Structure 1
Amino acid sequence: MDLHVGDLLQISCPATPARVVEKSSTYLVVEWPWWTVDPLAQGASWNGCVAITIDPSSYDWERELFSTEPAPAQLNPGDICRIGIPPTIVRVLSVDTFDQPLETGYLPRPRRLVTVLPANQPVDVESEDQGYSLDPDDGIPITFEPVSPRD
């Protein structure tokens, strides 16, 4: 899909089983069901897990797109949950492509990153760290459906 800055999209990802590895008051760490460790990575390593923000008072909470079923409060390490993205309207903040795929420690290596922000949150043009970056080509079954063309 051809994506552009300013596009409004509805994104979603079906809930997929994952095992809870760790839980804190701020994050829930799960074994990521979609990527694999990159055995040839030299500049980055990855342990197969991803932390999901669960603290509404955290700055990162506003950027988190993934959620779990059941809710994090009901989960403990070792539990199996389902992780996905409920239908969410987002605005595309940036689209970055790379001549050489990024070395991230996981496979597939990203060739394109799309940074999105829930449409109900204001865009801060001064912020360099706003939004949530997704690789639309990484095998996570995220759907990107246009809601309207860019402004």
Structure 2
Amino acid sequence: MRVHGTDHAGLRKGAAARFRLPNIGFVFQSGNLLPALSASDQLRLAGRLAGNRDVNPRALLGSVGMSHRADHRPGQLSGSERQRVGIARALVNDPSLLLVDEPTAALDRKRGHEVVGLLADRAHSAGVAVVMVTHDRDVLEHCDRTLEMIDGRLSPVEGSLP
């Protein structure tokens, strides 16, 4: 995989980790939020781990509609809210690539559309490439390009961009 002209596969483990932190954001299916930390603290910690101490948690949480829940811990948030905090955390370092795993798995249809719509808006407004893996065909309308894996091979879905 090439990101910013760098072949990620050719990097050693430590170099790959240093490259990923500022360039690639990850949104996990389950959110992977730390239970003891508030939404704001999740973002501060992600920034510090990447050497970015200028993180503005309220602004980032506001960009995903979560500033009103900044002081809440994961156990106090709904599935959709946890997913949006996870998206904000993935955006802490302004990555150029977001890798998203099953963002709608724990959400109802309405919330799933909200979360994927948010990712699409962010992709378009900030020029972020989003690669999303999903089984949820209901949210494909938010995607610019859609590929389907059949028998281990990727092929374009009819009607999506080439």
| TM-score range normalised by the length of the shorter chain | under 0.3
The higher relative CO (CA closer than 8 Å, separation ≥ 6) is in 1
Looking at secondary structure, tell me which structure has more helix per residue.
2
Higher strand share: 1
TM score, norm. by length of structure 1: 0.25
